[in-house]
């Protein structure tokens, strides 16, 4: 098959997937599956081998991340239900002071965005942020935006949220590296986004209903900040210690121990057990031991299925040597390889509205191309995460959750959310490019 045909078939399958998801509202899992089958047929895969190839790509991908995503969802559920998120936010505001409330909002949201979905962070904390806007005389276009900004950036770049976990697995990147470098790149991205939001002077008052809700919640007993942070910090420390001991003290007893307790699966399981300090005696009840776990399974199902199908897509791309054909096209246009995942993730995100889908799908697409594009798995991971941040707009559930709950109009939402997401993604992408060219990633 000619290069032109292979690239056309590849492009057509991706366009089909995006159109099915964005225009016809087909679920991402079904949209990817249909696109995978059509690509397999188009590139000449024998019909009797298509189903087996799909299953092989699916199984190879989810074997290392399915349980991690599930445990991460349980941890997020506990933080939501125990008011730990509220406790972390109030403490962060006290630490930053009244003059820097917007930074406190973004920082606390960034912490919570690691285990909790960004949309959920907004829903949980909008009453507090609404009160802070009134107390400081600031606009919800800035404060509501900062709340979504912090959670969105870490949700796109830092495991154990599903997108980054899936991207790391697809790219063969250790979770510990993804966490460390995801945090490093998240910081300048969030700073840039907050600086953008601080310049917005459009007055937007919070909704009265959230002010009332926050007042009614004043009597709720919150867990201590230390207790609230422990379940988040514990798995990160264990995973980093695993990397440290196995790098500098390989084959030692400590390295062997941390190979087990510092594995992402074990570390997150320990975090789930640790989170019972937030629940108290109620941890023994059916509501916690069964119902919360059941709800977490439902939350985890979609990213697990989508990630697995991303692996199926990747195996067809590899079989068709799409990477080689794209690399040839890139070489002819002199586009730097590091820009490819950034641009692909940005396009998928802008069209579908899902940064999680942008991160995961792009990781699946570029994995077979890494050597030819001359970029490392880590550089590709960060490129996918930052590219998938750019221009969040009206086809995103998080966009509507934030604009409606912050009392913003559509235009104000585009200015706030569309603006900060593009700024944050662009700055993160620039940092990634610099890190790539100086040889750090």
Mean pLDDT of 85-105: 91
Q: Is residue 353 within 8 Å of residue 399, measured between CB atoms? A: yes
Percent of the chain with pLDDT over 90: 49
Using the predicted structure, report yes or no on whether residue 133 has a pLDDT greater than 70: yes
Instruction: Give the number of C-alpha atoms closer than 13 A to the C-alpha of residue 359, restricted to the C-beta side.
Output: 30
The average confidence (pLDDT) of the chain is 89
Q: Residue 217 — very low, low, confident or very high, per pLDDT cuts 50/70/90?
A: low
Helices (H) and strands (E) in the chain, counts: 25, 0
Q: What is the pLDDT of residues 368-405, one digit of tens each?
A: 888 888 999 999 999 999 999 999 987 787 898 899 89
Residues in the chain: 441
Q: pLDDT > 70: what percent of the chain?
A: 96
Which pLDDT score is estimated for 327?
A: 62
Categorize the per-residue pLDDT at 289 as very low, low, confident or very high, splitting at 50, 70 and 90: very high
Mean pLDDT of the 228-240 span: 90
**Above 80 in pLDDT, residue 129?**
yes
- To the question of pTM greater than 0.85 for the whole model, the response is no
CA atoms of 241 and 314, how far apart (whole Å): 32
Token representation of residue 290: 């069964």
pLDDT at 45 over 70: yes
- 237 burial level (CB within 10 Å; 0-12, 13-18, 19+): exposed
CA distance 413 to 161: 25
Q: 55-69, 102-116, 127-141: which range is least confident on average?
A: 55-69
């Amino acid at each position: 098959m000619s290069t032109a045909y292979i690239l056309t078939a590849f492009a057509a399958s991706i366009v089909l997937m995006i159109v099915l998801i964005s225009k016809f509202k087909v679920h991402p899992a079904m949209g990817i599956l249909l696109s995978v089958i059509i690509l397999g047929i188009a590139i000449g895969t024998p019909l009797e081998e298509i189903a087996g190839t799909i299953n092989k790509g699916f199984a190879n991908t989810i074997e290392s991340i399915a349980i991690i995503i599930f445990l991460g969802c349980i941890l997020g559920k506990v933080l939501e239900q125990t008011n730990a998120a509220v406790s972390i936010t109030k403490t962060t505001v006290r630490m930053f002071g009244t003059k820097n409330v917007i930074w406190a909002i973004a920082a606390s949201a960034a912490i919570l965005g690691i285990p909790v979905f960004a949309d959920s962070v907004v829903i949980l904390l909008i009453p507090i942020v609404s009160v802070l806007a009134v107390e400081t005389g600031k606009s919800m276009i800035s404060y509501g935006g900062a709340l979504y900004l912090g959670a969105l950036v870490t949700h796109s770049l830092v495991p154990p949220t599903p997108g980054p976990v899936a991207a790391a697995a697809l790219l063969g990147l250790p979770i510990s590296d993804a966490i460390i470098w995801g945090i490093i790149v998240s910081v300048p991205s969030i700073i840039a986004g907050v600086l953008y939001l601080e310049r917005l002077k459009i007055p937007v008052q919070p909704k009265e209903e959230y002010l009332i809700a926050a007042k009614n919640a004043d009597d709720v007993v919150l867990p201590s900040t230390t207790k609230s942070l422990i379940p988040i910090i514990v798995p990160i420390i264990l995973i980093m210690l695993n990397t440290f001991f196995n790098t500098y003290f390989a084959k030692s007893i400590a390295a062997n121990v941390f190979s087990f307790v510092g594995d992402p699966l074990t570390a997150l399981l320990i975090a789930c057990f640790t989170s019972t300090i937030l629940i108290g005696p109620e941890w023994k009840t059916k509501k916690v031991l069964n119902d919360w776990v059941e709800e977490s399974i439902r939350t985890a199902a979609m990213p697990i299925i989508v990630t697995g199908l991303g692996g199926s897509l990747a195996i067809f791309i590899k079989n068709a040597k799409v990477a080689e054909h794209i690399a040839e096209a890139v070489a002819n246009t002199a586009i730097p390889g590091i820009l490819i995942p950034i641009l692909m993730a940005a396009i998928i995100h802008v069209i579908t509205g899902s940064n999680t889908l942008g991160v995961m799908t792009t990781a699946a697409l570029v994995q077979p191309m890494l050597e030819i594009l001359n970029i490392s798995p880590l550089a590709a991971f960060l490129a996918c995460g930052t590219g998938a941040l750019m221009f969040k707009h009206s086809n995103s559930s998080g966009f509507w959750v934030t604009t409606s709950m912050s009392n913003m109009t559509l235009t104000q939402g585009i200015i706030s959310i569309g603006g900060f997401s593009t700024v944050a993604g662009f700055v993160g992408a620039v940092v990634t490019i610099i890190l790539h060219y100086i040889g750090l990633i």
